[in-house]
């Protein structure tokens, strides 16, 4: 028997895709140059984070030395890294469980 997927099923499905098929992350690293306001701006404008989410990750970068800003396929993470380097931030790609 088949039925169409409802919204709840679709959300579970995509969460599963993220875990099984795409175990890579983009990390942004702290540096002494870039302004906290700039890093926050980049997170808001490029990743579409809210002010509060962007500030939270920016502070994580600042205090912990780095923060995960995205997860997914390797190719996708590499394109995020390219964009971060474009902005002058330093970012790297690694396996999610590394």
Partner 1 sequence: MIPFERDSTGVITASFSQPESSLLASLAGQVASMLDSYAAPPAIDDPDAAALYASVGLGGSSSLSDDPAIARLLPDAYSEADASADFRGLTERSLATRKVANARAVAQSLSDADTAAGDVRLTEQEAQAWLRTLADLRLTIAARLGIEHDGDEGGDDESSVALKDVYDWLAWVTESLIDAIES
Contact 84, 29 (CB under 8 A): no
Residues 25-54 vs partner 1: string with x where CB under 8 A? -----xxxxxx-xx--x-------------
- 91 makes contact with partner 1 (CB under 8 A): yes
- Under DSSP, is residue 44 helix (H, G, I), strand (E, B) or coil? helix
Q: How far is the CB of 20 from partner 1 (least distance, A)?
A: 22
Q: Which two tokens stand for residue 17?
A: 């895709």
CA 49 – CA 52 distance, rounded (Å) = 8
What are the residues binding partner 1 (CB under 8 A)? 30-35, 37-38, 41, 78, 81-82, 85-88, 90-94
């Amino acid at each position: 028997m088949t039925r169409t997927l409802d919204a709840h099923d679709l959300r579970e499905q995509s969460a599963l895709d993220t875990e099984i098929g795409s175990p890579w992350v983009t990390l942004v690293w702290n540096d002494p140059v870039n302004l906290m306001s700039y890093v926050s701006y980049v997170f808001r404008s490029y990743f579409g984070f809210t002010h509060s989410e962007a500030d939270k990750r920016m502070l994580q970068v600042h205090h912990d030395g780095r923060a995960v800003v995205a997860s997914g396929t390797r190719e996708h993470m590499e394109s995020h890294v390219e964009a971060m380097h474009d902005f002058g931030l330093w970012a790297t790609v690694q396996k999610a469980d590394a």
